[in-house]
Copies of this chain bind each other. A is one copy, B any other.
Amino acid sequence: MQLIDTVGRFTKTIESARAMGNSVGLVPTMGALHRGHLSLVERAARECDVVAVTIFVNPLQFGDPDDLAAYPRTLGADVAVAEAAGADVVFTPSDRQMYPDSAAAGGPQDMSGEPVGVHAGSLGRVLEGASRPGHFDGVATVIAKLFAMTGRCRAYFGEKDFQQLQVIRSLASRLSFPVDVVACATVREPDGLALSSRNARLSPDERTAATVLYRSLAAGAAAIAAGARRPAEVTSAMRAELGAEPLVTTDYAVAVGAEHLTPLPELAGAVRLLVAARCGPVRLIDNMEVII
Protein backbone atom coordinates (compact mmCIF):
# COMPACT_ATOMS: atom_id res chain seq x y z
CA MET A 1 0.00 0.00 0.00
CA GLN A 2 1.29 3.45 -0.92
CA LEU A 3 0.65 6.39 1.41
CA ILE A 4 0.76 9.63 -0.61
CA ASP A 5 0.39 13.20 0.58
CA THR A 6 0.98 15.39 -2.49
CA VAL A 7 -1.35 16.06 -5.41
CA GLY A 8 1.46 15.64 -7.94
CA ARG A 9 2.51 12.23 -6.68
CA PHE A 10 -1.08 11.03 -6.36
CA THR A 11 -1.87 11.98 -9.98
CA LYS A 12 1.35 10.38 -11.30
CA THR A 13 0.74 7.18 -9.31
CA ILE A 14 -2.78 6.77 -10.70
CA GLU A 15 -1.56 7.53 -14.24
CA SER A 16 1.19 4.91 -13.94
CA ALA A 17 -1.30 2.34 -12.68
CA ARG A 18 -3.62 3.07 -15.60
CA ALA A 19 -0.76 3.05 -18.13
CA MET A 20 -0.11 -0.56 -17.02
CA GLY A 21 -3.70 -1.41 -17.98
CA ASN A 22 -5.29 -1.28 -14.50
CA SER A 23 -8.80 -0.02 -13.86
CA VAL A 24 -9.02 2.48 -11.02
CA GLY A 25 -11.48 2.66 -8.11
CA LEU A 26 -11.72 5.88 -6.08
CA VAL A 27 -13.20 6.13 -2.57
CA PRO A 28 -13.22 9.76 -1.39
CA THR A 29 -13.65 10.10 2.40
CA MET A 30 -13.12 12.56 5.22
CA GLY A 31 -11.54 9.83 7.36
CA ALA A 32 -12.94 8.59 10.69
CA LEU A 33 -13.57 5.43 8.69
CA HIS A 34 -16.32 3.09 9.85
CA ARG A 35 -17.84 -0.06 8.39
CA GLY A 36 -19.86 2.05 5.96
CA HIS A 37 -16.68 3.41 4.36
CA LEU A 38 -15.04 0.00 4.44
CA SER A 39 -17.95 -1.49 2.50
CA LEU A 40 -17.15 1.04 -0.25
CA VAL A 41 -13.45 0.12 -0.24
CA GLU A 42 -14.25 -3.59 -0.31
CA ARG A 43 -16.63 -3.17 -3.23
CA ALA A 44 -14.08 -1.04 -5.10
CA ALA A 45 -11.48 -3.76 -4.49
CA ARG A 46 -13.81 -6.39 -5.96
CA GLU A 47 -14.58 -4.27 -9.04
CA CYS A 48 -11.30 -2.46 -9.81
CA ASP A 49 -7.63 -3.39 -10.22
CA VAL A 50 -6.26 -0.49 -8.17
CA VAL A 51 -8.15 1.21 -5.31
CA ALA A 52 -7.34 4.69 -4.06
CA VAL A 53 -8.87 5.89 -0.79
CA THR A 54 -8.61 9.62 -0.16
CA ILE A 55 -8.78 11.03 3.37
CA PHE A 56 -9.25 14.78 3.55
CA VAL A 57 -11.39 16.80 5.95
CA ASN A 58 -12.42 19.44 3.41
CA PRO A 59 -12.59 22.86 5.11
CA LEU A 60 -14.51 24.27 2.13
CA GLN A 61 -17.64 22.27 2.97
CA PHE A 62 -17.83 23.33 6.62
CA GLY A 63 -19.64 26.61 7.24
CA ASP A 64 -19.10 26.39 11.00
CA PRO A 65 -15.45 26.42 12.20
CA ASP A 66 -16.49 24.62 15.43
CA ASP A 67 -18.02 21.78 13.40
CA LEU A 68 -14.78 21.56 11.38
CA ALA A 69 -12.67 21.52 14.56
CA ALA A 70 -14.92 18.89 16.18
CA TYR A 71 -14.85 16.57 13.15
CA PRO A 72 -13.17 13.32 14.29
CA ARG A 73 -9.63 12.74 12.99
CA THR A 74 -8.21 9.22 13.34
CA LEU A 75 -5.63 9.09 10.55
CA GLY A 76 -3.40 6.28 11.85
CA ALA A 77 -6.30 3.89 12.36
CA ASP A 78 -7.90 4.98 9.05
CA VAL A 79 -4.82 4.08 7.02
CA ALA A 80 -4.61 0.66 8.65
CA VAL A 81 -8.27 -0.24 8.10
CA ALA A 82 -8.28 1.13 4.55
CA GLU A 83 -5.33 -1.11 3.71
CA ALA A 84 -6.97 -4.11 5.34
CA ALA A 85 -10.15 -3.46 3.31
CA GLY A 86 -8.19 -3.48 0.03
CA ALA A 87 -6.79 0.02 -0.59
CA ASP A 88 -3.67 0.10 -2.77
CA VAL A 89 -3.17 3.86 -2.41
CA VAL A 90 -4.18 6.09 0.51
CA PHE A 91 -4.03 9.80 -0.31
CA THR A 92 -3.87 12.12 2.71
CA PRO A 93 -3.21 15.64 1.42
CA SER A 94 -2.81 18.64 3.72
CA ASP A 95 -5.11 21.67 3.46
CA ARG A 96 -2.22 23.50 1.80
CA GLN A 97 -1.79 20.79 -0.83
CA MET A 98 -5.46 20.97 -1.72
CA TYR A 99 -5.95 24.74 -1.50
CA PRO A 100 -2.52 26.35 -1.86
CA ASP A 101 -3.92 29.89 -2.34
CA SER A 102 -6.33 29.82 0.52
CA ALA A 103 -5.64 31.93 3.60
CA ALA A 104 -8.06 29.63 5.46
CA ALA A 105 -5.75 26.72 4.66
CA GLY A 106 -2.81 28.51 6.32
CA GLY A 107 -1.39 29.47 2.92
CA PRO A 108 -0.33 32.92 1.84
CA GLN A 109 -3.01 35.58 1.73
CA ASP A 110 -5.31 34.90 -1.17
CA MET A 111 -4.96 37.93 -3.46
CA SER A 112 -7.61 36.88 -5.91
CA GLY A 113 -10.75 37.38 -3.81
CA GLU A 114 -13.31 34.66 -4.43
CA PRO A 115 -11.47 31.91 -6.32
CA VAL A 116 -12.62 29.75 -9.20
CA GLY A 117 -14.80 26.93 -7.88
CA VAL A 118 -17.65 24.60 -8.65
CA HIS A 119 -21.18 25.51 -7.67
CA ALA A 120 -23.74 22.82 -7.02
CA GLY A 121 -26.65 24.77 -8.53
CA SER A 122 -30.23 24.49 -7.28
CA LEU A 123 -29.68 20.92 -6.05
CA GLY A 124 -27.19 22.33 -3.56
CA ARG A 125 -29.59 24.83 -2.04
CA VAL A 126 -32.42 22.61 -0.78
CA LEU A 127 -32.57 20.35 2.32
CA GLU A 128 -29.00 20.07 3.69
CA GLY A 129 -27.99 23.02 1.52
CA ALA A 130 -30.70 25.21 3.04
CA SER A 131 -29.28 24.81 6.54
CA ARG A 132 -25.64 24.70 5.39
CA PRO A 133 -25.16 27.48 2.79
CA GLY A 134 -22.16 26.78 0.55
CA HIS A 135 -21.79 23.22 1.86
CA PHE A 136 -22.45 21.51 -1.48
CA ASP A 137 -20.36 24.03 -3.42
CA GLY A 138 -17.49 22.93 -1.14
CA VAL A 139 -18.31 19.27 -1.71
CA ALA A 140 -18.58 19.76 -5.49
CA THR A 141 -15.26 21.64 -5.62
CA VAL A 142 -13.27 19.04 -3.68
CA ILE A 143 -14.82 16.13 -5.60
CA ALA A 144 -14.14 17.89 -8.93
CA LYS A 145 -10.49 18.20 -7.83
CA LEU A 146 -10.29 14.50 -6.92
CA PHE A 147 -11.96 13.51 -10.22
CA ALA A 148 -9.56 15.80 -12.15
CA MET A 149 -6.54 14.24 -10.41
CA THR A 150 -7.75 10.67 -10.87
CA GLY A 151 -9.13 10.71 -14.41
CA ARG A 152 -11.12 7.72 -15.65
CA CYS A 153 -12.32 5.67 -12.67
CA ARG A 154 -15.25 4.20 -10.82
CA ALA A 155 -15.94 6.39 -7.78
CA TYR A 156 -17.80 4.95 -4.78
CA PHE A 157 -20.15 6.94 -2.56
CA GLY A 158 -22.61 5.89 0.14
CA GLU A 159 -26.34 6.51 -0.22
CA LYS A 160 -26.41 7.70 3.39
CA ASP A 161 -25.46 11.18 2.07
CA PHE A 162 -28.02 10.97 -0.70
CA GLN A 163 -28.15 14.64 -1.62
CA GLN A 164 -24.35 14.66 -1.83
CA LEU A 165 -24.54 11.61 -4.10
CA GLN A 166 -26.97 13.41 -6.43
CA VAL A 167 -24.78 16.53 -6.50
CA ILE A 168 -21.77 14.36 -7.39
CA ARG A 169 -23.66 12.44 -10.08
CA SER A 170 -24.72 15.75 -11.58
CA LEU A 171 -21.16 17.09 -11.33
CA ALA A 172 -19.65 14.07 -13.09
CA SER A 173 -22.19 14.26 -15.89
CA ARG A 174 -22.32 18.03 -16.31
CA LEU A 175 -18.52 18.48 -16.29
CA SER A 176 -17.94 15.42 -18.54
CA PHE A 177 -15.63 13.62 -16.13
CA PRO A 178 -14.92 10.08 -17.35
CA VAL A 179 -16.05 8.82 -13.96
CA ASP A 180 -18.70 6.21 -13.21
CA VAL A 181 -20.33 7.24 -9.94
CA VAL A 182 -21.29 4.07 -8.03
CA ALA A 183 -23.93 4.41 -5.30
CA CYS A 184 -23.59 1.97 -2.40
CA ALA A 185 -26.32 1.05 0.09
CA THR A 186 -26.24 2.66 3.53
CA VAL A 187 -24.70 0.41 6.18
CA ARG A 188 -26.82 0.33 9.37
CA GLU A 189 -26.52 -0.85 12.96
CA PRO A 190 -28.82 -3.80 13.81
CA ASP A 191 -31.35 -1.31 15.24
CA GLY A 192 -31.44 0.67 11.97
CA LEU A 193 -29.19 3.63 12.82
CA ALA A 194 -27.16 4.60 9.75
CA LEU A 195 -23.43 4.47 10.40
CA SER A 196 -21.90 7.95 10.63
CA SER A 197 -18.65 9.34 11.98
CA ARG A 198 -20.80 11.73 14.00
CA ASN A 199 -22.50 8.91 15.94
CA ALA A 200 -19.40 8.66 18.17
CA ARG A 201 -20.39 11.99 19.74
CA LEU A 202 -23.81 10.72 20.97
CA SER A 203 -24.37 9.88 24.65
CA PRO A 204 -25.86 6.42 25.36
CA ASP A 205 -29.37 7.92 25.70
CA GLU A 206 -28.96 9.98 22.54
CA ARG A 207 -27.63 6.92 20.73
CA THR A 208 -30.85 5.07 21.60
CA ALA A 209 -33.03 8.04 20.62
CA ALA A 210 -31.20 8.41 17.26
CA THR A 211 -32.83 5.24 15.93
CA VAL A 212 -35.99 7.32 15.49
CA LEU A 213 -34.63 8.61 12.16
CA TYR A 214 -34.78 5.14 10.66
CA ARG A 215 -38.16 4.45 12.27
CA SER A 216 -39.46 7.69 10.77
CA LEU A 217 -38.35 6.62 7.27
CA ALA A 218 -39.93 3.21 7.81
CA ALA A 219 -43.18 4.93 8.87
CA GLY A 220 -43.13 7.00 5.68
CA ALA A 221 -42.53 3.90 3.56
CA ALA A 222 -45.34 2.10 5.40
CA ALA A 223 -47.73 4.98 4.68
CA ILE A 224 -46.87 4.74 0.97
CA ALA A 225 -47.30 0.95 1.06
CA ALA A 226 -50.75 1.56 2.60
CA GLY A 227 -51.66 3.72 -0.38
CA ALA A 228 -50.68 7.30 0.60
CA ARG A 229 -49.72 9.35 -2.47
CA ARG A 230 -49.97 12.92 -1.19
CA PRO A 231 -46.56 14.02 0.19
CA ALA A 232 -48.23 15.63 3.24
CA GLU A 233 -49.78 12.31 4.31
CA VAL A 234 -46.38 10.62 4.14
CA THR A 235 -44.45 13.35 5.91
CA SER A 236 -47.11 13.49 8.68
CA ALA A 237 -46.38 9.85 9.41
CA MET A 238 -42.64 10.57 9.42
CA ARG A 239 -43.00 13.63 11.65
CA ALA A 240 -45.31 11.84 14.10
CA GLU A 241 -42.58 9.25 14.67
CA LEU A 242 -39.86 11.87 15.11
CA GLY A 243 -42.08 14.03 17.37
CA ALA A 244 -42.53 11.14 19.80
CA GLU A 245 -38.81 11.18 20.66
CA PRO A 246 -38.04 14.00 23.13
CA LEU A 247 -34.23 13.88 22.67
CA VAL A 248 -34.52 14.60 18.95
CA THR A 249 -35.48 17.88 17.21
CA THR A 250 -36.67 17.50 13.63
CA ASP A 251 -35.07 19.70 10.99
CA TYR A 252 -36.86 18.33 7.93
CA ALA A 253 -38.81 15.26 6.87
CA VAL A 254 -39.70 15.15 3.18
CA ALA A 255 -40.89 12.84 0.41
CA VAL A 256 -39.52 14.13 -2.91
CA GLY A 257 -38.53 13.11 -6.43
CA ALA A 258 -35.27 11.17 -6.17
CA GLU A 259 -33.31 12.78 -8.99
CA HIS A 260 -33.63 16.48 -8.30
CA LEU A 261 -34.99 16.30 -4.71
CA THR A 262 -37.82 18.59 -5.72
CA PRO A 263 -41.40 18.47 -4.39
CA LEU A 264 -43.95 16.36 -6.26
CA PRO A 265 -47.69 17.15 -6.29
CA GLU A 266 -48.35 13.41 -6.06
CA LEU A 267 -45.82 10.70 -5.25
CA ALA A 268 -44.91 8.49 -8.22
CA GLY A 269 -41.89 6.76 -9.68
CA ALA A 270 -38.59 7.01 -7.82
CA VAL A 271 -39.36 8.75 -4.52
CA ARG A 272 -36.84 9.51 -1.79
CA LEU A 273 -37.75 10.00 1.85
CA LEU A 274 -35.20 12.16 3.66
CA VAL A 275 -34.94 13.25 7.29
CA ALA A 276 -32.58 15.48 9.26
CA ALA A 277 -32.73 16.00 13.01
CA ARG A 278 -30.59 17.29 15.85
CA CYS A 279 -29.80 14.78 18.56
CA GLY A 280 -27.74 16.20 21.41
CA PRO A 281 -24.54 17.72 20.01
CA VAL A 282 -24.94 16.46 16.45
CA ARG A 283 -27.15 16.75 13.42
CA LEU A 284 -28.05 13.41 11.89
CA ILE A 285 -29.43 12.63 8.44
CA ASP A 286 -30.88 9.53 6.84
CA ASN A 287 -32.92 8.59 3.78
CA MET A 288 -34.72 5.73 2.10
CA GLU A 289 -35.73 4.90 -1.45
CA VAL A 290 -39.34 4.05 -2.27
CA ILE A 291 -40.27 3.03 -5.81
CA ILE A 292 -43.97 3.44 -6.52
Contacts and interface: CB of A to CB of B under 8 A. Distances in A.
Contacts of A112: 121-123, 170, 259-260
Copies in the complex: 2
Interface in A130-167: 140-141, 144-149, 151-152, 167
A98 B174 CA distance: 8
A113 B122 contact: yes
Nearest to A179: B148
B116 A140 contact: yes
B152 A175 contact: no
A232 B148 CA distance: 42
Contacts of A140: 116
Contacts of A117: 118-119, 121, 174
Given A7-B176, A145-B176, A178-B148, A171 B260 contact: no
A116 B121 contact: yes
6 contacts: A11-B152, A112-B259, A115-B122, A115-B170, A141-B175, A146-B176
Nearest to A166: B112
A262 interface: yes
Given A140-B116, A167-B116, A111 B259 contact: yes
Contact of A260 (B98, B113, B147): B113
Interface residues of A, number: 44
Given A116-B120, A116-B140, A116-B170, 15 more contacts: A11-B178, A15-B152, A18-B19, A101-B173, A101-B174, A112-B122, A113-B121, A114-B122, A115-B122, A116-B123, A116-B167, A118-B175, A145-B176, A148-B148, A151-B152
Interface of A: 7, 11, 15, 18-19, 98, 100-101, 111-124, 140-141, 144-149, 151-152, 167, 170-171, 173-178, 259-260, 262
A86 B167 CA distance: 39
Given A112-B121, A118-B175, A151 B149 contact: no
Contacts of A120: 116
Contacts of A173: 100-101
Contacts of A146: 176
A214 B11 CA distance: 42
Nearest to A168: B116
A149 B118 CA distance: 17
A9 to B, nearest CB: 12
A127 B119 CA distance: 22
A261 to B, nearest CB: 9
A181 to B, nearest CB: 13
A115 B111 contact: no
